Structure 1
């Protein structure tokens, strides 16, 4: 296998060595080599990842179903036939409720409850998602409920740093406007070297936390001076692949000294000055509008050989520049129009949602307010079609992000559920699972193997899920 990567089979995986080398450690070292042959091979990464995933499933998983329940479950399963499962599957697919099922049809869900694996150490498994939720609850118990929900969307195609990770030594990263290859060349490079794309993503996120949020990445603690979001007490982040094949991250941010929802509302109602300061803080932090166009914009160098300026390919303005404020406002406006202005594309209606699943356009509100009658906190919205964002973060990173403040316990619970379920892209809904169990029964019926043992039946159902 792979004769061009391992000539004569020398240096392959799990070969006889004086010093033992695990499959995972060797794969990681091969992808980190200066020689790009492994990381740019058209199938090597996918085969290695598939082997690791299959081994994890087979070696680190077990049925949640216990042997002591076999006799009880065997008696129940005898009352479930292929026709019943098919009927339940069609009923749920048509939008029917579980409450309208008969007793015999309800037995299908007893089978469903037993079709579970304990896969805590298998990436992407449902158990991993449940563990992430448990971790979030632990963070909340230790530091309090989180206050900000951030989505980072770095796009390496436009960042000069990715070209450096790819190995291009002609890029001058100290230049305000580095000269980059043609966009099509950059896109091919990103597709050709996914390891460089992953390395760039982790480097970028670490830089954001280290130099913007004031979080010491190595020591895993906040620096004494803090960052642009004042001081963090903790954070929880998951990363995922988007439909466009790039990485982005969802982050729960816990601010040092932040109050829980009930204590916050009590203090806002009792202290008008605190109420005003709280609203001013978040109004300054999170914007739902862009600066007005300048009549005499400050000149900035172009990033390309042509005349068109591409601001997201440039470096952030230097605070030591005497015209820093003017350049910052101009970059904020240009980047905001390009990256933060909402456009309802097809992905916004994913899952058949009508209207836009992000509820754009938002209702305009000229001033931030706190409604004591409904206990709702409403931030200022001047432009109904601009995403919530922090100007300093936008201008510094040069890519899209979404920053929301979370003022209620329900919204924080929803964000915690979103960050754990959306990131794993789990399709294990009851409707889908019953449909897959139906597939198992149909195959057994075709093979005339209806009297199959209980454990084997459960295994087949689970393998259908996976």
Structure 2
């Protein structure tokens, strides 16, 4: 297809009165593919090939066997975010693609662990035997906030199998099951140690913090000054949108500082300090 044909097809999509039911012969975008997919694991040329502007010399790929010391995928991705050149931080898709690959690796790893369990054969047979109508009816039953005891046998079986799926997804960073698992851990701590006697709400807003401005690359900010002369709100907002990794670093730095100095928590020993904290 020529460039004019692509433009013409795109223009036709802008016309609201165009009949969508008519089968169109000209696509909007042609994606070339091959019958042999690119290997995802142990492919040190994958990421440099996807982002030639980030790896202009074609070196520095992930899981490179020529490295003297092996480095995990997630650890190397974190290192690239901390280099002085913030080109990896400012890229529009690199952060999300790398996170997605890390999630895939976690899902594959814990799926393999689940397959090694003794009851996996029975679980897989039950999973294949479930019909989509049963799963849909169970979902509709739970969406209407009905009592779980009213589920029939097949629906209870689907709910039981869902727990096995959540066991795998609970290990994937960023998933809803991972957040639910973290909340369950917090409730477990409360059940073991009792309710906390002090509730503290930290308002960590990087937009108005001079520490974040330094982390985002502003060398004009003097943290020793009591009253900071900061840039306009519009410029600070652009910095926050441009560098989300700096916002994450600011949040982690603030939380660690609060627990270390205010509550007296020793992160290296994972216990409270003998001298305690400010509180």
TM range (shorter): 0.5 to 0.7
Tell me, in whole angstroms, the C-alpha distance in 1 between the residues paired with 2:190 and 2:59.
Answer: 47
Question: What residue is the counterpart of 2:212 in the other structure?
Answer: 162
Tell me, in whole angstroms, the C-alpha distance in 1 between the residues paired with 2:272 and 2:121.
Answer: 50
Question: What residue is the counterpart of 1:40 in the other structure?
Answer: 90
Gaps of 5+ in 2: 1-49
Task: Work out which of the residue numbers 130, 133, 154 in structure 1 matches 2:184.
Answer: 133
Structure with more helix by fraction: 2
Gaps of 5+ in 1: 230-466
Structure with more strand by fraction: 1
TM-score (norm. length: structure 2): 0.66
Secondary structure (helix, strand or coil) at the match of 2:201 reads: strand
Alignment of 1:46-195 (within 5 A): 46-61=96-111, 62=114, 66-67=119-120, 69=122, 73=126, 77=129, 81-83=131-133, 85-100=135-150, 105-115=152-162, 116-117=164-165, 118-119=167-168, 121-124=171-174, 126=177, 129-130=180-181, 133-134=184-185, 137=188, 141=192, 145-195=195-245
Secondary structure (helix, strand or coil) at the match of 1:172 reads: coil
Do the aligned partners of 1:122 and 1:128 also contact (CA within 8 Å) in 2? no
Do the aligned partners of 1:121 and 1:128 also contact (CA within 8 Å) in 2? no
Aligned-pair CA distance for 1:67: 4.0
Alignment of 1:387-402 (within 5 A): none
CA separation of 1:96 and 1:199: change in aligned 2, threshold 3 A: closer
Aligned-pair CA distance for 1:178: 0.7
Tell me, in whole angstroms, the C-alpha distance in 2 between the residues paired with 1:176 and 1:66.
Answer: 63
Task: Work out which of the residue numbers 7, 32, 51 in structure 2 matches 1:2.
Answer: 51
TM-score (norm. length: structure 1): 0.42
Q: CA RMSD in A?
A: 3.3
Aligned-pair CA distance for 1:209: 2.4
Aligned-pair CA distance for 1:159: 0.5
Aligned-pair CA distance for 1:70: 5.6
Tell me, in whole angstroms, the C-alpha distance in 2 between the residues paired with 1:128 and 1:140.
Answer: 19
Question: What residue is the counterpart of 2:3 in the other structure?
Answer: none
CA separation of 1:151 and 1:192: change in aligned 2, threshold 3 A: same
Deviations 1:342-386 (A, max 9, x none): xxxxxxxxxxxxxxxxxxxxxxxxxxxxxxxxxxxxxxxxxxxxx
Aligned-pair CA distance for 1:129: 4.2
